[in-house]
Amino acid sequence: MGDKMQDDDGPSDSSLLVIIVDTNPNQRYITEDPKVLTGCLDAVIAFANSHLMQKSRNLLGVIGCHFHKSEYLYPSPGKPLDVRQIDGQYELFTLVEKTIKMRLVNLIKSQPQEEKPGESLLAGALAMALCFISRMRREATPGLRMSSRILIVTGSSDTAAQYINYMNVFFTAQKQQVLIDVCSLDKHLSLLQQGCDITGGLYLKVPSLEGLLQYLLWVFLPEASERNELVLPGRGRVDYRAACFCHRELLTIGYVCSVCLSVFCKFSPICTTCHTVFKIGGPLPIKPKKKKMKV
């Protein structure tokens, strides 16, 4: 795999971009105006086609993330759609647009109607993206210099419930030299910002959804080797607080298991993760005060 990995010093022969689109209906900007999702999706598709337009060898993957499951939107498993040129548009761009929209409709229709929308399964979508990148690297031509990165476009709130899964994915991406970029459409996401900092990616909270495409093209379109030459938003201060394993809340000070390194907000004589029993010593003996000798 080493000859197919991309070094940050020079440009790559091929760039693989995997976009994770959060389509959870529980996102605030969707609940306020569901039509905004269509505009955001059009911006993501235009950004994806811009990536393919940069180099003929560039590759693309798109994953839709919902509250009940994550699914590949592009490329479509099985036989690709039969598309024809429309108004002089490149056939590949038409294929990308139609495939993403068709599979996204199927993903939304497959959600259980009786179930209340929960949090987005972003950690699982990240794991799927890493598996897709690993497969594309194995299938690549020997000697091909391929750079790989993941872009998350989400408007969901930050949650510590998937903290362990997030950390596993972040350090796996770091080991595989995969950058993780995050484009937040609503709130500040401290956990995903940690992933950007760990893997060397970029984090951006979009000030206005009307300019989403401009922000995507400006910040996230350049490859890692080109970003050093551009003036891009800084990472800022990263909140590296850990989440406790008992209540999934971010902590400044907590208790850490010396065996499995699990973090807890309250002391417990038994670790709930690895079931290690800690010996609790009694109180320290108090030395009696020495009596002063009377002269």
Judged against a pLDDT cut of 70, whether residue 8 lies above it is answered with: no
Predicted local distance difference test score (pLDDT) of residue 2:
44
∠ CA 40-44-49, nearest 5°, is 150
**Judging by beta carbons within 10 Å of its beta carbon (0-12, 13-18, 19+), is residue 179 exposed, middle or buried?**
buried
**255 or 293: which leads in pLDDT:** 255
Cis peptide before 117 (omega within 30 of 0): no
Highest mean pLDDT: which of 128-132, 158-162, 164-168? 128-132
User: pLDDT higher for 166 or 114?
Assistant: 166
Most confident of 115-119, 168-172, 281-285: 168-172
From 5-19, 226-240, 257-271, the region with the lowest mean pLDDT: 5-19
Q: Quick one: tokens of 39?
A: 């505009």
Lowest mean pLDDT among 31-40, 80-89, 152-161, 192-201: 80-89
What is the Cα–Cα distance from 225 to 57, expressed in whole angstroms?
Answer: 17
Domains of the chain in start order, with CATH, are: 14-229 (3.40.50.410), 241-287 (no CATH)
pLDDT exceeds cutoff 70 at 5: no
Over the chain, what is the mean pLDDT? 88
**DSSP letter string over 7-21?**
PTTS--SEEEEEEEE
At 198 the pLDDT is: 95
Please list, residue by residue across 95-106, b when 16 or more beta carbons sit within 10 angstroms of its beta carbon and e when fewer do: bbbbbbeebbee
> What is the pLDDT, as a whole number, of residue 3?
42
- Residue range 112-135: average pLDDT? 92
pLDDT for the residue 292: 66
What token pair was written down for 52? Answer: 């393919």
